[in-house]
Structures are given as C-alpha cells and as structure tokens.
Amino acid sequence: MPITIKSDEELNLMRKSGNMLAQVHEVLHEALRPGISTLELDAIGEEAIRKLGGIPNCKDYEGYPASVCISVNDEVVHGIPKAETILKEGDIVTFDTGLSYKGYHSDAARTWGVGEISPEAQKLIDVTKQSFFEGIKYAKAGGRLYDISKAIDKFIKPYGYGIVRELTGHGIGKELHEEPYIPNYRQFRRGIIMLPGMTFCVEPMITMGKRKIAFLDDEWTVVTLDGSLAAHYENTIAITPDGEPEILTIL
C-alpha cells in the first residue's frame, strides 16, 4: 500500500486520536505502583480508552489478547498482561498502546520505573526517550526518512546500548501499521522524501546490553536474548502543512 497523505480534516482526527491516547498514558502512569498486576493495568488502560470514546487497537490485533502491551524489565515489546505479573519496586515497565477514533489510529509507548529504580535503568529510559527527539528533528517536509533512523543511531551509539532491528516505526492512519517502515538504525539508503500530511510512529527500542532479541513461548513477548533491560519510547507524529513535525500523542 502506498504512503497515505492526510487531508487537514484527517489530520484533525489524527490529532484528536493522539490527544486521547496521551490522556490514556497519563492514566496508566498514575496507576503504576508496586503491587499492581499488569492485568489490572491493562483493564485500567482499556477503560480509559473506551471512556474517552476510543477503540483499543492492540486488542485482537493478529490475535493479541489485551489492550495495552505491558513489557517488564528484559521484555522489549508485546508483553502480555497477566494477573500473576505483580510489579515491584525497581522494575521498569513499558506501556505500548493505541486506539482508533472515527477510524484514525494513534500509537504511543512509554517506559517508566516502578518506585525507585537504579540510576543505570533511569539513564536507559532517558536516553531512549531523547533518541526519539533527536530522530524527529529530521522529520520535515522535503527531508529524507532515513535521516531519522541515522539520527537515532548516532545518538545511541556512544552509550553502547543495543538498538533493536527486527521491529521498526511505521506509517499510521486508517491502519495501525502503514508504510513506510522506519528503522532505528542507519540505512544504506536515504529513504523517501517526507511530505506534509504524512503521519508516522517513531519508536526506538533500546537495550542495555546486546541488541539480539527472542520470543517467549507465548509467541508474543519479545525479550532481550542476554536478559538485559530494555526501554521503548514512541509517539505518533504528523508532518503538518507548514512542513514541521507535530507530536500528536503528547498533551
């Protein structure tokens, strides 16, 4: 499918969808505490999505069983919420969730610490978040898509962290995953020229150790092969008519 260009009207719906999702992430962050299960957090997230008038877009996506992907510590993405997974002080937790509103999707991920966490874990979270902002400096009309990838890679490299390669950012709109795909590491091409009306998810997934990942037996949960911690930071962004990036999933 070609890359979709959203009209001004569609961009407004994308904004609304993104704003709702930002609110859901606030609710999830506020609910996060030692002793809560990831299943309870999923229920809180799903309720927040539905109360705002959205439809969770993770639920039933290729059979995924929950509304919020919740990944703990060495889990990178697509962790499955469970009553038995009780969070404890010192854990790091990623919420990756999305919704659709009037047919338009938004998608965002955040990693948080539970209570007090190690300075090393906090640094991983902060650097992962910053790499997103370094990347989107290049998200401009007339710019080349893979300059985003290169900027993320360049920023992460000095820290010695791993950049997950098997999963990428993506276009988004009437579908949760649209073209183009946006790797978080340097490409040997420069990529398409970005245009106003394009909407993307940029989502670095960063590991404290090596970048290699594996699946758990549930065939969803992606973990680091070496057991090191992982962090993820994602927003839905738009290239607006003035050619600049606008982050849709931050309040």
Q: Of 69-128, which residues contact Co ion (CB under 5 A)?
A: 107
Instruction: Give 251: exposed, middle or buried? Use CB within 10 Å, 0-12, 13-18, 19+.
Output: exposed
Contact 232, 94 (CB under 8 A): yes
Output the CA torsion 3→10→14→78 (10° steps).
-40
Cβ distance to Co ion smaller for residue 57 or 224: 57
Tokens representing residue 249 in the block? 């999933």
C-beta of 79 vs 191, nearer to ligand MF3: 79
Q: Between residues 228 and 235, which has the closer beta carbon with respect to ligand MF3?
A: 235
CB of 141 to Co ion, least distance (A): 22
Q: Which is nearer to ligand MF3, 95 or 185 (CB)?
A: 95
Q: Which does 181 bind (CB under 5 to 8 A by kind): ligand MF3, Co ion, none?
A: none
Query: At its nearest, how many Å lie between Co ion and the CB of residue 75?
Result: 16
Contact partner at residue 110 from Co ion, ligand MF3, none, CB < 5 to 8 Å by partner kind: none
Given Co ion, ligand MF3, none, residue 69, with its beta carbon under 5 to 8 Å by kind, binds ligand MF3
Lookup: tokens for 160 = 């010695």
Considering the complex, state which of residue 91 and residue 96 has its C-beta at the smaller distance from ligand MF3. 96
CA geometry: angle at 209 spanning 130 and 200, to 5°?
A: 40
Q: How far is the CB of 30 from ligand MF3 (least distance, A)?
A: 21
Tell me how far, at minimum, the Cβ of 58 lies from ligand MF3, in Å.
Answer: 4
* The three-state (H, E, C) secondary structure of the chain, written as one string: CCCCCCCHHHHHHHHHHHHHHHHHHHHHHHHCCCCCEHHHHHHHHHHHHHHCCCEECCCCHHHCCCCEEEEECCEEECCCCCCCCECCCCCEEEEEEEEEECCEEEEEEEEEECCCCCHHHHHHHHHHHHHHHHHHCCCCCCCECHHHHHHHHHHHHHHCCEECCCCCEEECCCCCCEEEEECCCCCCCCCCECCCCCEEEECCEEECCCCCEEECCCCCCEEECCCCCEEECEEEEEECCCCCEEECCCC
> Quick one: what does residue 78 bind among ligand MF3, Co ion, none, with the CB cut-off 5 to 8 Å set by partner type?
ligand MF3
CB of 34 to ligand MF3, least distance (A): 25
58 touches, from ligand MF3, Co ion, none (C-beta below 5 to 8 Å by class): ligand MF3
Binding site for ligand MF3 (CB under 6 A): 58, 61-62, 64, 69, 78, 96, 98, 107
Q: Which of the listed partners (ligand MF3, Co ion, none) does 245 bind, with a CB threshold of 5 to 8 Å by partner kind?
A: none
Between residue 161 and residue 220, which ones bind Co ion under the rule CB under 5 A? 201
| Nearest-approach distance from CB 120 to Co ion, in angstroms | 26
- Say which entry of Co ion, ligand MF3, none residue 238 contacts (CB below 5 to 8 A, set by partner kind): none
- Using CB under 5 A as the criterion, which residues of the chain lie in contact with Co ion when the complex forms? 107, 201
